[in-house]
Each structure stands twice: as structure tokens, then as C-alpha cells.
Homo-oligomer: A and B are copies of this chain.
Amino acid sequence: MKKQTTFITSLILSLSLSSFAQDNDSTVIRKFFNESLSNGKSYEWLRDLTTNVGPRLSGSEGAKKAVQWGKTLLESGGYDRVFLQDVMVPHWVRGAKEEGYILDGKQKIKVPLVALGGSVATPKKGITAEVIEVKTFQELRALGKEKCEGKIIFFNRPMDPTKINTFEAYGQAGDQRRSGANEAAKLGAIGVIIRSLSSTENDFPHTGSMVYATGVPLIPAAALSTNAATLLSKTLKENPNTKFYFKQSCETLPDAPSHNVVAEIKGSEHPEEIIVVGGHLDSWDLAQGAHDDGTGIVQSMEVARLFKNLGIKPKHTIRIVLFMNEENGNRGGVKYAELAKQNNEKHIFALESDNGGFTPRGFGMQGASAELLAKVQSYRTLLAPYGLHEIERGGGGVDIGPLAPQGSVLIGFKPDAQRYFEYHHASNDTFDTVNQRELEMGAASMASLIYLLDNLTN
């Protein structure tokens, strides 16, 4: 009987201890949400970043200002350390506002068009040519050199609206923007225009990076708004001899000096083990960069503030990283990992917020063991009351990607994805499209996960 009693006693003890631990976790998470939703700073920080700093493409004055902005704000947070990491970044400039016209033989229809990031300029007077519309590279190659020589190739494959995960639809349409110019140049085309990678039919053209392959001619590449792409396609059906004109004067200048901004809260038990929380500080030049990725920046900064404000001392070192140059080079992410390796740092987790500032849905994990994934999934009971149901394998983030070979588990914050590609890389990615509650819930969600990961028994 003795033994039995002891066993039961210890069972009860361990059950109540574990229930205490759970209670405690749920109390801390509740505090994160209460503080973020009642006294959060993320929204006002975002207002400041998007409207006072504004667009901040790598190499620009805006990017310089953003680095200073982030450093100053983090320094005022009272963390253990705030520092910059030097990094040379690409310096592409758009130049004068682009022009685009459909020339259907009868009239000249002005359409919204922007150069793709990394593209070369057109000749000063622009280019005019007949248009070949295709949906895929396969279709393009089947046309062959004869049909494409001297023409403007028009890639018009929309994002698939039936994909519930809009990032999947974006991924499937992305080859047109990234490599369309290379594929077209191989066949003698003189320019490329693409349908904007957008989930919405409207008049905002979406930019984004393209990269020239070695050994092919560099031809100019631009994006049309989805409405303009639809119009051009319709016009081509009516008159296959329709021409298109566009002019852009973008160019790539020599690499420019820039910085990642890092703030650190030293771990109380394992200071040598690092958890990164970050987003990217750069944005495209067209917009305020609100959802991409001002929201990720201010949410990461809010995670640090929440820990500090609630007096929660992490066991592991937490680093808030405002990465530079995610959009057109990922030099900041690469540099961060390079320095981590040089300094023999041990990164155990890296969490990135770069999917917009919408209502939180969950997290995607990359590089986690089955045990770790199951453990984090077991936190669903703690996280579901906040709408965080989706904890699955998935992408981490571009900036944190280079940490993977060092053994860090990568985690992508997953907000609701239905609206993101309405704004992504376009001039309508502005502060007013961000809802304060959604943003603040995201910050609290991130803090909650970091807290749970920091307390994983290991």
C-alpha cells in the first residue's frame, strides 16, 4: 500500500505541478496580449516608420534614416546591448516615373506601369514594339526565336485565386517576375512586361526583384497593374498588331554601406544560446512599406518591449534584429549569419515576421525535429484562445534563412494571408491598411511563442 500511495501522491504532485506550469504559461501569455492591446507601442511606431521615415529601399536616404530610427528607438528601450552590423547593399534607383502606353492602332492608352527592381532602363526615348502574350515559359519557348525577336513579351499568368494560401499562389506566379526577362532575352525579345503579382484587380502596379542571368542580354522589365494587364490582353485579342510603349530610367549604382540593427536581452541561464526575432527594415521605394515589412519590424521591437515591460527575464539571449536588404539581395540576412558563424554564436531559434500585419493564425516551423514540432503543437491549447490554430511545418523567412545551416530552427509568423498581396510591393502598402488590433495581436503572439520556446526544457 505504501508504494501505491507514494506513486499516486507523486503522480498527483506531478500533475498539479504541470497544471501549475500550464497555468503560469497561460497567465504570461494573457499578460502579453493585455499589454500589447492596451498599451502597445507597435502601432505608433509603425505610424512613425511609415509616414516619417517612409520608403526605405536599400541604399536610399530612407534606408539610412530607418537605421537611425531603429537604433534610436531600441536604445531608448533599456536593453542590454544595441549595435549595428555593417553590410554593403545593392543600390538600385528607379529614376524618373515610368511611362507605359497601349498603342492599339487607333489610340494611345496610358497604363500604370513600374520598373521591376534590378531592371535596366529602356533607351532614353523608350521602346515600342509588338506584344507577344504568354502565360508560361513553356509557351514562350514553343513560340521560338522567330516569333519573339524584336518583340515585347507580356507575361500574363495571374495568381491562382483558388489557392487558400496566397503565398502559394504568389510562389507559383513568381517566375514571370524573377526570370521572365532572361527567358525572353534568350529568344531575342527587347523588353518584358508582366502582370503584377497581385491577388486583386486594380490600378496599382506591384514591383519586386528580378535578377539577370549571366550570358543573356539585359532587357528592361516592368510590371503592369492587373487592370492594365487585363486591358492589354483584351486589346491584343481584338488587334494582334497592338504595340506597347514603355520608358524607364532605373539603374544600378555601386553597392552602398548600410546596417542591420540589433538589440539584445541577455539570457539569465543560457546567455550563449540565442533566439532571434526579426523582420526587415528595408522596403520597396514605391510605398511606405507598411505590411512589407514595417509591421514585422515594429512587432519584433514590441516583443522586446513586452518582455522588458512585464519583467520577464528570458533564460536564453533574445536578439531583436532589424535586417537590411531583404527585398533585393538579402545581404543583411547573409551578413548576420556570417557574423554569427565568425563569432561562434549558437542560434537555437529564429522567428521572422514578414507576412504582413494581419490577424495571427499561427506559425510555420522549418528544421524542427518531429519531437520539437509535436511539443510546440502541444501548446495549441495555450494559443488557440488567441486564434493561433496553425502550427505546422512551413517557411521561416528570407532574412533568417542563412541561419539554417548553423542549426537554428526557423519559424515564420503566419498572419491571415488574404489581403497581403493586395498591397505587397505596391504604392498602396500604406499605414492606413494596417489594423491596430491585428498588428498588436501579432506582436503578442510572437512574444508568447518566444516565451514558450525560451522555457522549453532542454
Contact = CB atoms under 8 A, between A and B. Distances in A.
A162 B390 CA distance: 22
Given A199-B437, A436-B200, A418 B359 contact: yes
A361 interface: yes
A438 to B, nearest CB: 5
Given A359-B359, A419-B437, A164 B200 contact: no
Interface in A25-55: 33-34, 37-38
Contacts of A387: 164, 361, 416
A435 B419 contact: yes
A199 B385 CA distance: 19
Contacts of A359: 359, 416, 418
Q: Which of A162, A164, A199, A418 has the most CB of B within 10 A?
A: A418
Interface string A188-224: 0000000000011000000000000000000000000
A141 to B, nearest CB: 28
A198 to B, nearest CB: 11
B441 A37 contact: no
Contacts of A313: none
Interface string A407-448: 000000000101100100000000000011110010000000
A37 B199 CA distance: 11
Nearest to A384: B389
Contacts of A435: 418-419, 422
A412 to B, nearest CB: 17
B441 A164 contact: yes
Contacts of A164: 33, 385-387, 441
Contacts of A144: none
A64 B359 CA distance: 37
A37 B160 CA distance: 9
Contacts of A386: 164
Contacts of A385: 164
Contacts of A166: 437
A254 interface: no
A34 B37 CA distance: 36
B34 A437 contact: no
Question: 7 tightest A-B contacts by CB?
Answer: A389-B389, A418-B437, A37-B161, A34-B162, A418-B438, A37-B162, A359-B416
Given A34-B162, A389-B389, A422-B435, 19 more contacts: A33-B162, A33-B164, A38-B161, A161-B437, A164-B385, A164-B386, A166-B437, A199-B437, A200-B436, A359-B416, A359-B418, A361-B387, A387-B416, A389-B390, A416-B416, A418-B437, A418-B441, A419-B435, A419-B438
